[in-house]
C-alpha cells in the first residue's frame, strides 16, 4: 500500500510533541544533476531542518520556527527566495511571502517586494501590526522601512546562475516557471509542543515573469494556510494552479467539514484534483502527522518529528525510514 504520510503511523496513534516539514521547491528537477549540486541541496535542506529540530526541542513556538526556517532559505542562494530570487523580464527582482499563525488565525502577506532582505520577516511584521494583512510593491517597502527592517539594493539579489536562466528564457522568448528548473518556492510548516500550528512561504516567482505578477505564495488559502486543530500548509509549483484550486484552504476545509484525514485530503487534491506537473505541498496536522505529496518529478523537502523520524529527499517518495534519499 502506498505510504501517504512522511513517516509510518505507530499502532498507538500517539500525539507527537512536535513535528516540522520544509520544502525548497517542486518541479522538473533533473536526475542528471551533478553529484555536487545534489549534495549542496541536501546539505542546505539538512541544515535548515536541523535548525527546526533544535528550536522545537527547546520549546520554541510554531510561528517563531516557521519564520526562522524560511529566513534561512532566504539566505541561501540555491533556493528561489530572498538571496536566490529569480529575475523579472526587466532584470529586477520582485519577492513575495506569507506567514500564518494557526493559534490566532492572524496572517501577514507581502508581494512585489524589491528592497527588503528577508520578505518573510516583513510578512511577520505585517502579521504583528494589528492593522492591514497584505502590503504590495512600494507600499510594502515603505512599511519595512517604517518597521526598521533591513533594506538592501535590488542588486543584492543578483546571482550569476539566475541571470543565466533569465538570458535563456529571453532567448527563447518565454517565461520559465519556477518549477521548470526546480527553482521553486520555499516553505515551512510546524506543530509545536503546545499543539499550535503555523506556516510560512516565500518566493522570487518565476524567471522572466512580467513585473507585477503575483503567484499563490502570499495569498492566504492558496499557497499558505494554518488553523489550529486542522493543519498548516505550504505549497510550491505552478502558482496559478494553486490559486485556482485554493489548495491550502481546501485541504483544511475537507478536514473541518468532511472529517477527512490529512493524508487523504492532501493526496486527493495533489494527485487527483491538480494536473500532473503542477507541484506539491507540505502539511502537518494537529497530531503531528506530516504529508509531502507532489505530482512533479521532484520536490526538495525534509521533515522531522519528536519521535526521532527524519528524512531529506528530492525525487520519489522516500522510504519510511530515517534514511535520506
Domain ranges for the chain: 19-310
Q: What is the model's pTM? A: 0.93
How much is the average pLDDT of 242-271? 98
pLDDT digits over 141-153, tens only? 999 999 999 999 9
Helix (H, G, I), strand (E, B) or coil at 98: strand
% the chain with pLDDT above 90: 76
- CATH class, 19-310 region: alpha beta
Identify the residue with better confidence: 21 or 8.
Answer: 21
Whether 37 sits among the annotated catalytic residues: the reply is: no
Residue 197 has pLDDT above 70, yes or no: yes
Give the span between the Cα atoms of 238 and 184, in whole angstroms: 9
Give the span between the Cα atoms of 260 and 257, in whole angstroms: 8
How much is the average pLDDT of 211-222? 96
Please name the residues in contact with 321: beta carbons below 8 A apart, sequence gap of 6 or more: 311
Helix (H, G, I), strand (E, B) or coil at 252: helix
Catalytic-role residue among 185, 207, 224, 236: 185
Amino acid at each position: 500500500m502506498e505510504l501517504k504520510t512522511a513517516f509510518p503511523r505507530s499502532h498507538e496513534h500517539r500525539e507527537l510533541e512536535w513535528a516540522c516539514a520544509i520544502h525548497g521547491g517542486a518541479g522538473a528537477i533533473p536526475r542528471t544533476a551533478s553529484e555536487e549540486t545534489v549534495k549542496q541541496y541536501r546539505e542546505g535542506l539538512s541544515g535548515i531542518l536541523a535548525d527546526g529540530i533544535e528550536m522545537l526541542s527547546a520549546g520554541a513556538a510554531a510561528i517563531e520556527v516557521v519564520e526562522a526556517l524560511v529566513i534561512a532559505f532566504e539566505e541561501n542562494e540555491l533556493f528561489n527566495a530572498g538571496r536566490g530570487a529569480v529575475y523579472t523580464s526587466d532584470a529586477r527582482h520582485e519577492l513575495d511571502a506569507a506567514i500564518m499563525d494557526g493559534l490566532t488565525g492572524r496572517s501577514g502577506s507581502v508581494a512585489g517586494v524589491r528592497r527588503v532582505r528577508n520578505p518573510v520577516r516583513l510578512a511577520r511584521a505585517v502579521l504583528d501590526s494589528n492593522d492591514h494583512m497584505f502590503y504590495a510593491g512600494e507600499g510594502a517597502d515603505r512599511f519595512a522601512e517604517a518597521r526598521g527592517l533591513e533594506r538592501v539594493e535590488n542588486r543584492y539579489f543578483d546571482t550569476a546562475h539566475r541571470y543565466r536562466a533569465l538570458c535563456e528564457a529571453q532567448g527563447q522568448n518565454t517565461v520559465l516557471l519556477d518549477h521548470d528548473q526546480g527553482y521553486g518556492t520555499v516553505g515551512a510548516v510546524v506543530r509545536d509542543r503546545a499543539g499550535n500550528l503555523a506556516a510560512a512561504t516565500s518566493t522570487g516567482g518565476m524567471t522572466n515573469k512580467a513585473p507585477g505578477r503575483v503567484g499563490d505564495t502570499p495569498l492566504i488559502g492558496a499557497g499558505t494556510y494554518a488553523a489550529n486543530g486542522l493543519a498548516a500548509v505550504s505549497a510550491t509549483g505552478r502558482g496559478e494552479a494553486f490559486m485556482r484550486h485554493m489548495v491550502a484552504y481546501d485541504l483544511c476545509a475537507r478536514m473541518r467539514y468532511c472529517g477527512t484525514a490529512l493524508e487523504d485530503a492532501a493526496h486527493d487534491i495533489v494527485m487527483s484534483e491538480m494536473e500532473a506537473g503542477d507541484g506539491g505541498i507540505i502539511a502537518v496536522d494537529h497530531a503531528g502527522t506530516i504529508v509531502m505529496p507532489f505530482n512533479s518529478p521532484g520536490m526538495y523537502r525534509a521533515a522531522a518529528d519528536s519521535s526521532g523520524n527524519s528524512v531529506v529527499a528530492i525525487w520519489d517518495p522516500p522510504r519510511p525510514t530515517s534514511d535520506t534519499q
